[in-house]
Amino acid sequence: MAIIGMECNLPGATTVEAFWDLLKNGREAITFFREDEVDPFVPDRIKNDSNYVKARGILKEVEYFDADFFGMNPRLVELMDPQHRLFLETSRNLLEKTGYLADKKDCIIGVYSGCNINTYFNNNVVWHRDKMELQGAIPVESVNDKDYIPARVAYHLNLRGPAVNVNSACATSAVAIAQAVAGLRAGQCEVAIAGAAAVTAPVNSGHLYEEGSMLNIDGHTRPFDSAGTGTVFSDGIGAILLKPLDDAERDGDIIYAVIKGVGVSNDGGNKASFSAPSIEGQAQAIALAIQDAQVVPSQISYIEAHGTATPVGDPIEIEGLKLAFGEQEKKQYCAIGSVKSNIGHANHTAGVAGVIKVALSMQHKQLPPSINFVEANPKIDFENSPFVVNDKLKDWVVDGKRIAGISSFGVGGSNAHIIVEEYNSPAEKKHSEPDQVVTPQIIAWSAKTEKSLRDYSEKLREYIDANPGAALADIAYTLQHTRQELGIRNALVAKNLDDLRDQLTDATKLSSSVNVVKEKGANIVFMFPGQGSQYINMGKELYRTEHVYRAAIDECAGILLNEMKEDIRRIIFPEQEDERATEHLKNTYYTQPAIFITSYALARLYMSWGILPNALMGHSVGEFVAAHLAGVFSLADALKIVSTRARLISGLPGGSMLSVRTSVDAIQSFLPKNISVAAINAPQLCVLSGENNVIEAFSQVLNKKDILNKLLRTSHAFHSEMMEPIVQPLEQVVEAAALNVPRIPILSTVTASWLKDEEALSPAYWADHSRATVRFSGAVKAIEEELQPIFLEVGAGITTTVLTKQHGGEISKRTFASLDTSNKAEGEPAAIKGALAKLWLKGVTINWEPIHNGYKPTLLHSVPTYSFDRKRIWIDPLSDAVSDNNRQVNNVGTALQSDPVRPVQKSVAAAPGRKEVIIKKVAELIELISGIDLASANPHSNFTELGLDSLLLTQVGSALKREFKLPISFRQLNEDYDTLDKVAVYFDSKLPPDAYAENALSSEKKITEVPQQYPTQRVVAAGNLKEDGAVALAAIMQQLNMLTQQVAKLEEGARSKETPVLSDVNANRKSDKNEGAIVMDSTKPPMAGARLGRDRQGNPAWFIEDAGNPGNYIQL
């Protein structure tokens, strides 16, 4: 099985590249906490113990997560095990960097993973029962139970292979790899993620050292050293991507190394204790892996050991290795080391961390040092074994292939061993490159938020600075082929790394190129320009660099050679760029065929890149390009018609054309009959055509009327009555051609409407075309009204682009030229790549592969992955309420915290109507459950539009039933009452008249607080109830007694005629009418979990649920 990708987040290394840097430089990534850095949740009696070691390997910002990116409810995410969150991120990074995200590669991907015990739930979440109840038992379980870590990845990344939860204590990730290998061998999936996660809460914590235990005395892990006293348990995330070797080679995947064999065993019961290691059990797993790999021990030149550095465990591990290797003639030929010396024991992630280390060592052909080794454990006889501790960075020199074994052993007797072999890729095939310079590259990236987009540009700039030797084409190729195409986009066209760095540093440039794609699959209209767009050497650089373009030009030139008896390429690409060559190209005889083949070749180039038009339109002769691409004419017939048209026109008497900056309607009343309207190009731009003297005279008339006009440099009066002599002979040529109905819609610039089939099949239509008015503006308006498309000028110059943009509004933002070479320094390749980038920014899907023109760059796994827009989504432990600070993990005690009750006086201001009050309350409940801000939400928007899915609606329904004491189901919220307004109308019709009355609620601004008269005391349930039950019970009773007294005093001193707040708890008893009520703030309970209700007299009171009798409540 080929390892085709690796990703990790380990102490001191958030990337694979950083991990190798840490390893080769022999750094230790253990964090040693100062006294004030230790988490306050750590009990004082432990923290102050002289044997408390304030050190371990940690990860940064584990409390941060991009919930929106994964479409997750932030309120549920704050209850979520950070191990699930981080493994999901790591898995996505792994698939992104390798190009295996679901929308990039269609294959069956499995997930084999596990994680450590969920300390976050035990230490942070469990105290917040109110938050859990809002989400519901099943959702909370799904984000916390170990079972769901692979399923969570499969769901959010749309993976359809097996999602298998693996848990074998410290051997988990190694066993996950073994399971993935088995799944791949069995054909259950094509590719597999294998790995694990380990994160402990509180993060800034250490351990109590006890002599003879697994945990060390000073935070330093010293595998195989005489001073070794054990390890430290660190955090870490790691995953690798596996694929059958033959398939990986066939598909051109990057291969780091090859897993040759795996072995898994258990110690059984024949050992000292449950947690004790076993020589025989470990040896069995190693021997099974060697057998599975079909290698012999003498070929293995490195062992990545479990290496916990315990005085007893290390000797047992060496004895197990020796037993598995058998008697070896050669001594100390096999190096040994352990990554635990660098990062500590990464718990469930330890095995995959070792595999990544070995694969990197093979890639770099170096063995990094196993640090903290000075003198061997006296119980280990290395000299008479095959093994020697590798304590220095050295070249990994072997005869034959580099082969290594990785051991991972778990408490309880789970043993796993993996044999890895280096991969020597076959001689790389040289890609044939056209005779070209390196063309500019499109650097494209996208995100779900503008912050992520900006952050990624910074990461990319830092990457370029750190990798000055990287090839620009490789970076472009990697981003184009592996990254998900999201809604907020940026794209730059760069000539080289320096150019890219400059653009990434230019804030103005970056911000100007950002675009938000509202929906993918935008309509595209190819616009083909007419006469006047030509220039010498148009398309020459593309002819040299783009083989599709060159092939199209050559094909047309071959056909035209028979028609024109000369090579049109010599006219377009003259040997000398001089006035004579320019005049040649201006000759209509050459101009129209040259314009046709340039536009045609560009269209073919775009289509090879996956840019397919939804409609076509052409200005004058450009419509013949549209007709061919739509299938009306064959290429040969189209070229014959165009070349004949050009020849016939060039034989006519000369004429003039006048561009007028106004509408036709504005001049129609005084327009001479012997002047034709040649073109209506824009709302305030038309072109007139006629005899030279007539046009010149009318120009003077316009000048006197202060109407801007300009005489165009043309040889003939195109699209005028002067074209009449060529109509009949041209029609005869068209009649000889085979005509077909268009396969792609054409917006006719003759009629300014869709070209009808009968028109397309009519020789008269195509013959009259030369004298008919070009109604370009009408065509633009018609197509805009129906399609709201992207207008792409497919031809030389920017003529139709300028005309289209003159229609204003949103059209101007969706109109692009292909060869805007106004900046001569940029050149045509940069111009067309710029157009392509703009199309992508607008949501157009591009086939990136052909853009590299037959030269396949290298995929770079080191290019930064997505920049998540992480926010702190974390529930802090109740450390601020700890008095004796001696709670323990897995404690079932309840933390109680009291705050003063704040009575409020009745507001005299009018409150809103009841329906509005209900809408506000429903919105507050939804915000509380989902974390979605509904402050500015339209009450008539349905819940789906507001971002509520079925799971959230289920929780909302439960919350509404609790709040309003009325039945409302998920089905009703999904169908009948699917807006805030409809829910409010429903409740308003069902609630009693006095419930949620106008004076029942008042805004925060109208509340007048009574000064606090009573001191606040804080008491918590302490420690383990089994040990400290009496103390805890006394504390609870003291708290309840104090609160009861406070409420009684408040009842005496703060009564008013305020209508009572509706109860959250149904007391199930009748009471007399309440004549004197007090109002309590329901958002400020006196302790966690307290709910507002009515006492026996109907007055507001606080209640907590009776832990011993669920469903019943005790009044405070």
The CATH number of 659-712 is which of 2.30.29, 3.30.70, 1.20.120, 1.10.3470?
3.30.70
Average pLDDT for 139-167: 97
Q: Report DSSP letters for 509-528, one per residue.
A: HHHHT-EE-SSSS--EEEEE
Q: What distance in Å separates the CA atoms of residue 401 and residue 1019, rounded to the nearest whole number?
A: 66
Which of 825, 823, 801 has its CA nearest to residue 813? 801
Top pLDDT among 449 and 1079 is at 449
Whether the pLDDT of residue 1058 is over 90: the answer is: no
Least confident of 674-678, 696-700, 807-811, 1103-1107: 1103-1107
User: What's the pLDDT score for residue 230?
Assistant: 96
Contact 709, 703 (CB under 8 A): yes
Contact partners, residue 799, CB within 8 Å, separation at least 6: 529, 530, 532, 533, 619, 793
User: What's the pLDDT score for residue 427?
Assistant: 57
User: What's the pLDDT score for residue 295?
Assistant: 98
- pLDDT level of residue 998 (50, 70, 90 thresholds): low
User: In the numeric block, which tokens belong to residue 782?
Assistant: 């018609």
The angle that helices 16-24 and 350-364 make with each other, rounded to 10 degrees, is 80
User: What's the pLDDT score for residue 1046?
Assistant: 47
Edge-to-edge strands, sheet with 615-618? 615-618, 524-528, 790-796, 815-819
Extents of the domains making up the chain: 2-422, 433-518+826-877, 524-654+715-820, 659-712, 891-906+1011-1116, 910-1001
In 10 A of CB 1062, how many CB atoms? 22
Contact 1090, 1102 (CB under 8 A): yes
Q: What distance in Å separates the CA atoms of residue 805 and residue 912, rounded to the nearest whole number?
A: 50
Total-model pTM: 0.82
- pLDDT level of residue 897 (50, 70, 90 thresholds): very low
User: What's the pLDDT score for residue 1108?
Assistant: 60
Q: How big, in percent rounded to 5, are the helix, strand and coil portions of the chain?
A: 40, 15, 45
Q: What distance in Å separates the CA atoms of residue 1092 and residue 1104, rounded to the nearest whole number?
A: 9
Which of 791, 848, 837, 855 has its CA nearest to residue 608? 848
Whether the pLDDT of residue 497 is over 90: the answer is: yes
Q: Render pLDDT for 111-146 as a digit per residue (tens, 0 to 9).
A: 999 999 999 999 999 989 989 998 989 999 999 999
Contact 74, 869 (CB under 8 A): no
In 10 A of CB 426, how many CB atoms? 6
Q: How many residues does the chain have?
A: 1116
Q: Render pLDDT for 524-547 as a digit per residue (tens, 0 to 9).
A: 999 999 998 899 999 999 999 999
- The two counts, helices (H) then strands (E), for the chain are 38, 37
User: What's the pLDDT score for residue 1110?
Assistant: 62
- pLDDT level of residue 943 (50, 70, 90 thresholds): confident
Q: What distance in Å separates the CA atoms of residue 1027 and residue 1038, rounded to the nearest whole number?
A: 19
User: What's the pLDDT score for residue 438?
Assistant: 61
Contact 578, 544 (CB under 8 A): no
Helix (H) or strand (E) holding 952: helix 950-964
Q: What distance in Å separates the CA atoms of residue 46 and residue 884, rounded to the nearest whole number?
A: 12
User: What's the pLDDT score for residue 255?
Assistant: 98
Q: Report DSSP letters for 852-919, one per residue.
A: GTT------TTS-------EE--PPPSGGG-SS----TT------------EEPPP-SPPPPHHHHHH
3-state SS, residue 252: coil
Which of 219, 180, 478 has its CA nearest to residue 342? 219
- pLDDT level of residue 902 (50, 70, 90 thresholds): very low
Q: Render pLDDT for 47-68 as a digit per residue (tens, 0 to 9).
A: 999 999 999 999 999 999 999 9
Q: What distance in Å separates the CA atoms of residue 738 and residue 854, rounded to the nearest whole number?
A: 36
User: What's the pLDDT score for residue 1051?
Assistant: 42
Q: What distance in Å separates the CA atoms of residue 114 and residue 196, rounded to the nearest whole number?
A: 5
User: In the numeric block, which tokens belong to residue 750?
Assistant: 């003759």
Average pLDDT for 826-846: 94
Amino acid at 469: G
Measured over all CA atoms, what is the biggest interatomic distance in the chain, rounded to whole angstroms? 115
Average pLDDT for 549-560: 97
Average pLDDT for 313-326: 97
The CATH number of 433-518+826-877 is which of 3.30.70.3290, 3.40.630.40, 3.40.630.30, 3.40.50.620?
3.30.70.3290
Amino acid at 714: T
Contact partners, residue 312, CB within 8 Å, separation at least 6: 277, 379
Contact partners, residue 400, CB within 8 Å, separation at least 6: 299
In 10 A of CB 714, how many CB atoms? 20
Q: What distance in Å separates the CA atoms of residue 1095 and residue 1046, rounded to the nearest whole number?
A: 15
Top pLDDT among 506 and 432 is at 506
Average pLDDT for 458-477: 96
Residue 677 β-bridge partners: 688
Q: List, in sequence order, the alpha helices (H) in 443-496.
A: 450-466, 472-482
| Domain topology for 524-654+715-820 | Malonyl-Coenzyme A Acyl Carrier Protein; domain 2 (3.40.366)
3-state SS, residue 300: coil
User: What's the pLDDT score for residue 927?
Assistant: 86
Q: Report DSSP letters for 953-1015, one per residue.
A: HHHHHHHHHHHH-S---HHHHHTTS-BHHHHHHHHHHHS-TTTT-TTT---GGG--BPPP-S-
| Residue bearing tokens 């083949």 | 597
* Long-range Cβ pairs for the range 93-96 (8 Å, 24+): 93/7, 93/865, 93/866, 94/5, 94/6, 94/7, 94/193, 94/239, 94/240, 94/241, 95/5, 95/157, 95/193, 95/241, 96/482, 96/483, 96/484, 96/865, 96/866
Q: Render pLDDT for 81-111 as a digit per residue (tens, 0 to 9).
A: 999 999 999 999 999 999 999 999 999 999 9
Cis (ω within 30 of 0) for the bond into 202? yes
Top pLDDT among 930 and 854 is at 930
| Mean of all residue pLDDT scores within the chain | 87
| Domain topology for 2-422 | Peroxisomal Thiolase; Chain A, domain 1 (3.40.47)
- pLDDT level of residue 486 (50, 70, 90 thresholds): very high
Top pLDDT among 670 and 990 is at 670
The answer to whether the 433-518+826-877 and 524-654+715-820 domains have the same CATH topology is no
Amino acid at 358: V
- pLDDT level of residue 948 (50, 70, 90 thresholds): confident
Amino acid at 580: R
User: What's the pLDDT score for residue 1097?
Assistant: 61
Whether the pLDDT of residue 1033 is over 90: the answer is: no
Average pLDDT for 343-371: 98
Contact 652, 722 (CB under 8 A): yes
Whether the pLDDT of residue 492 is over 70: the answer is: yes
CA distances from 561 to 558, 778, 862 (A): 5, 37, 51
User: What's the pLDDT score for residue 436?
Assistant: 41
Whether the pLDDT of residue 1063 is over 70: the answer is: no
User: What's the pLDDT score for residue 994?
Assistant: 80
Least confident of 227-231, 330-334, 682-686, 919-923: 919-923
Which of 357, 228, 263, 268 has its CA nearest to residue 305? 357
Top pLDDT among 774 and 1074 is at 774
Q: What distance in Å separates the CA atoms of residue 932 and residue 910, rounded to the nearest whole number?
A: 29
Top pLDDT among 366 and 522 is at 366
User: What's the pLDDT score for residue 1026?
Assistant: 36
User: What's the pLDDT score for residue 1111?
Assistant: 62
Report percent pLDDT > 70 for the chain: 87
Measure CA of the first residue to CA of the last residue in the chain; give whole Å.
64
Top pLDDT among 646 and 1010 is at 646
3-state SS, residue 574: coil
User: In the numeric block, which tokens belong to residue 785?
Assistant: 């009204």
| Residue bearing tokens 């068209």 | 734
Report percent pLDDT > 90 for the chain: 72
Cα-based angle 698, 700, 701 (whole degrees, multiple of 5): 65
User: What's the pLDDT score for residue 1096?
Assistant: 64
User: What's the pLDDT score for residue 912?
Assistant: 52
- pLDDT level of residue 279 (50, 70, 90 thresholds): very high
- pLDDT level of residue 41 (50, 70, 90 thresholds): confident
- pLDDT level of residue 757 (50, 70, 90 thresholds): very high
Q: Name the CATH superfamily housing domain 910-1001.
A: ACP-like (1.10.1200.10)
Average pLDDT for 625-636: 98
- pLDDT level of residue 1023 (50, 70, 90 thresholds): very low
Whether the pLDDT of residue 1005 is over 60: the answer is: no
Edge-to-edge strands, sheet with 414-422? 163-165, 109-115, 191-198, 236-243, 2-9, 257-266, 414-422, 403-410, 302-304, 334-337, 387-389
Q: Render pLDDT for 172-217 as a digit per residue (tens, 0 to 9).
A: 999 999 999 999 999 999 999 999 999 999 999 999 999 888 999 9
Which of 43, 118, 139, 299 has its CA nearest to residue 1023? 43
Which of 1116, 1105, 883, 907 has its CA nearest to residue 1002? 907
